[in-house]
Amino acid sequence: MPGRDTTRLCDLPWRRFLVDTQSEPPMAAPCRNYPFTLAARDFERLNLELRVLRENLASGRPMGPCRECPDAPTVSVAALRASLEASGHSDDVNQMLSEIQRVAEAGISTPPIELMYRVAHTTSPADFLISGLITLFDVLPLIQQYDRSPQRRILDWGSGCGRLTRHLFRVLPESALSGCDVDAEAVQWCRENLPGGTFRVTETMPPTSFDRGQFTSIVGFSVLTHMSRTHQDAWITELADLLVPGGIIVVTVMGEAAARRNGCAEELLRYGILDDRPDSTLQGIAPPDYYRSTFQSRSYTEQAWATRFELLEYVEAGAFNYQDIVVMRKR
C-alpha cells in the first residue's frame, strides 16, 4: 500500500479508460480494478472522475482500488511524474476522452445506418465513431509494440465500413493500409469515402486476392468470433501466408469471460470451442450457415493456431470488457 510520499506507477487516467459495450447503456470504468459504474456517454462525469484519479496519483494520495492495485507497483511521486513526462502524459488530460470529444464534435461523415448496425450494432453515428476509437486504443499500442517494421503494411481484416480503419489512417499516416470484408456494400463505402487505402471484397473462404507476404501486421476485431472451427483453420493459414516472416496478428476471440456472460462457461471448458450458435447479423450477405457466435478457450486457441503462430500476448476481456485480444507472431 502506498505511503505518504509514494503512489502507484500508473498512467491509465492520463491515457484511456475502459468501456463495457455489452451493457445498455454502455458503462465505463477507469481500469479493470474499478467497477463499471460510469455512463460511457457522460463525458463530463467521466472527465471529472479521471481528473480526480490523476490528481490523487500525482499528489501521492491514491484512493479506492488504486491503493490496493495488483497491477501497478508502488513508486515515489517523483518517479511517477518523471514517467508521465517521459511518455508524453504530462498534461492534465485523458488522451482517449480528448480524442473522442474531438471526433464527436468534428462532424465526420459516417456510413448509412444499416452499415453501421451490421458492423457495430448501433444506429448512432456518435456511438459508431466512439466504438472505432475504443478499438483503436486497444489495437494501436499492440501494433506499435510488436510491429517494428520501418514501413508498416497493415490489413484490417473484416474492415466492414471502416469502423477502425478510418482512425488508423489518421494515427498511422506513414503506414500502407488495406481492408477487406465479405460485405460488398461496406467495402464499396470504404472505397468511396476513405481515400488512400486498398479495399477488397473477400469470399467466406480463402484465398484472398492480396499478395503472399504482403503485410507486416493484420488486425481482425470480431471476425474469428463468428466462424466455425473449419473456417477458422482455413483463415489462420491464410493470414499466416499474407504476413511477412515474423509478422503479427492482433485478433479477438470470445473466450471464457464472454462465455461466462452468456451462460456457457462450463460447456466451453468441456469442449474447448463452441461454434454451433447461429448469428443472423449478415443474413442475406453471407451464406446462411456461415455467420455464428463462436466461443473458444485460451488453451484451444493456443493449441489450434500453434503450427502457424506463437503467442505474444493474451488479454482476457481486453476488447470492450468482453472479447479476448490475442497477439501472435508468424512462425
Alpha-carbon span 265 to 267, nearest angstrom: 5
Letter for the amino acid at 248? I
**pLDDT computed for residue 139 by the predictor:** 95
- What kind and span of H or E run contains 7? strand 6-8
Please tell me the distance from the alpha carbon of residue 182 to that of residue 290, in angstroms, as a whole number. Answer: 11
Q: How many angstroms separate the CA atoms of 33 and 158, rounded?
A: 31
pLDDT at site 105: 75
First to last CA, the chain: 42
- The answer to whether the beta carbons of residues 186 and 161 sit under 8 Å apart is yes
The H or E element containing residue 303 is helix 298-304
**Which of 41-57 are b and which e, b meaning 16 or more Cβ less than 10 Å from the residue's Cβ?**
bebeebeebbeebbebb
- The CB-side HSE value for 269 (13 A sphere, CA atoms) comes to 6
Whether residue 195 contacts residue 175, with contact meaning beta carbons closer than 8 Å, is answered with no
Q: How far apart are CA 323 and CA 21, in angstroms?
A: 11
Q: Extract the C-alpha cell encoding 3.
A: 505511503
List pLDDT tens digits, range 97-155.
998 888 877 777 899 999 999 999 899 888 899 899 999 999 999 999 999 999 999 99
CATH of 113-330, one of 3.40.50.300, 3.90.180.10, 3.40.50.150, 3.40.50.460: 3.40.50.150
DSSP for 134-192? HHHHHHHHHHHHH---SS-EEEEET-TTTTTHHHHHHH-TTSEEEEEES-HHHHHHHHH
Q: Note whether 309 and 249 are within 8 A (CB).
A: yes
- Read off φ and ψ for residue 112, nearest 5 degrees: -60, 155
Confidence (pLDDT) at 2: 56
Q: Splitting the chain (331 residues) into consecutive groups of 10 residues, what average pLDDT does each group show?
A: 79 94 89 93 93 94 91 94 89 89 79 94 89 94 96 97 95 96 96 94 96 98 96 98 98 97 96 92 81 96 98 96 97 96
Domain spans of the chain, in order of start: 6-105, 113-330
> What pLDDT does 160 receive?
96
pLDDT attached to residue 24: 84
The answer to whether 4 and 20 have CB atoms below 8 angstroms apart is no
In this structure, what C-alpha cell is assigned to residue 307? 503450427
Element (H, E) at 237: helix 229-242
Beta-carbon contacts of residue 276 (< 8 Å; ≥ 6 apart): 292
pLDDT reported for residue 51? 95
